[in-house]
A and B are shown apart, each in its own frame.
Chain A
């Protein structure tokens, strides 16, 4: 029952995001099932989904490029452990482009990731890490928000969308 509530809250949040025509969902298991992040996208139109190859840093940079031409990418990494592979584009580019360019570029990207569950199955040290604190210490402009309960999902993603529309990026960590 609790799992269903969580899914419903995230699904509502993803549906809310997809109601904005500029929003595009990019990542692994966005079109095809296989990760826990997939099911919440059930209500997202196929036209707003891009199934991406496993190329984490390229995916982040790709989303930056999309955002510079008016799209609002929701850049999905099914586990926080995978987001670590995108640190160059996330820390050196997405976070620094505004200051490096004196606000010429204002990329607004929403990064969606989750901390892998340890119950009922423990996926071990490469699939269950939460690097939120370390990530926060590396950012100048990107905001990190963790969701610890279902009722935070909609408001958190609404806030991330608002920031993206103003040219600021957010990392939303689903840690429920």
Chain B
């Protein structure tokens, strides 16, 4: 496998801005969850990720896909064709789920298989701060840690789940301190970073006029 490509924060932002323009023109007939605000953190994390590793992501996966080596032209086309939430590449060992926490047990099974096959590859699962509180994360981390599996969960904390403040729903007003104080140190299978998102949960924050389907 070729080495992973390197991107600057500006190049990642430019990719999303180009997609945003297409989206605002009404040319994409599906939800798009833009990335933004976490460019440098992801560039740093991906410097530790090997081409042979597996990367599992969510409905917001454009940056992860680019940094894992997915061809930007192909990715752009996938997004325009309405598959922003379903970016998958077997060639690049890149898999997503649009269900919160959905990738975690799949990643666990991949990690188990890699271990049984004595392969040196690693599994990286990128999740948000709400998923970090879900039971499935704690089950998977318990199993991965207990069996010494090659799995790392990267928690990307922007404090929000769609637009709901994660910490507030769980009874803590300060999500960042809870995560930094607890999750960051819970075990070596977790990486954590905090960021402020620069884009809405979904869409680009503006109304989009779509041409009625079937009318000329």
Contact = CB atoms under 8 A, between A and B. Distances in A.
Interface stretch (B100-108, B158-166, B191-199, B202-210): B100-108
B88 A61 contact: no
Interface string B109-150: 111111011000000000000000000100110010000000
A100 B113 contact: no
A88 B90 contact: no
Determine the interface band of chain A, counting residues with CB < 8 A from chain B. Answer: 20 to 34
Nearest to A94: B106
B215 interface: no
Interface in A8-35: none
Determine the interface band of chain B, counting residues with CB < 8 A from chain A. Answer: 20 to 34
Interface stretch (A50-58, A112-120, A135-143, A146-154): A50-58
A55 B143 contact: yes
Contacts of B83: 102
B105 A70 contact: no
B216 interface: no
B136 A68 contact: no
A79 B114 CA distance: 30
B86 A58 contact: no
Contacts, number: 84
A88 B109 contact: no
Q: Is the interface of B mostly helix, strand, loop or mixed?
A: helix
A69 interface: yes
Given A53-B143, A58-B143, A105-B88, A93 B114 contact: no
A101 interface: yes
Contact of B95 (A63, A70, A89, A105): A105
B97 interface: yes
A60 interface: yes
B105 A64 contact: yes
A67 B89 CA distance: 16
Q: Is the interface of A mostly helix, strand, loop or mixed?
A: helix
Contacts of B114: 69
A68 B107 CA distance: 10
Contacts of B139: 53, 55, 58
Given A65-B108, A65-B109, A69-B114, A58 B102 contact: no
B99 interface: yes
A101 B104 CA distance: 17
A100 B99 CA distance: 12
Contacts of A65: 105-113
B75 to A, nearest CB: 14
A143 B107 CA distance: 24
A168 interface: no
Given A58-B139, A63-B109, A104 B104 contact: no
A71 to B, nearest CB: 6
Contacts of A92: 97, 99, 102
Nearest to A86: B105
17 contacts: A53-B139, A57-B136, A58-B104, A58-B136, A61-B104, A62-B109, A65-B113, A68-B106, A68-B113, A69-B110, A89-B106, A92-B102, A93-B97, A100-B86, A100-B88, A102-B88, A104-B90
Given A66-B110, A88-B99, 8 more contacts: A57-B105, A64-B106, A65-B111, A89-B105, A92-B102, A93-B102, A102-B83, A104-B88
What are the 10 tightest A-B residue pairs by CB atom distance, in nearest-first order? A65-B109, A61-B105, A101-B88, A69-B113, A62-B109, A65-B110, A58-B105, A104-B90, A104-B88, A65-B106
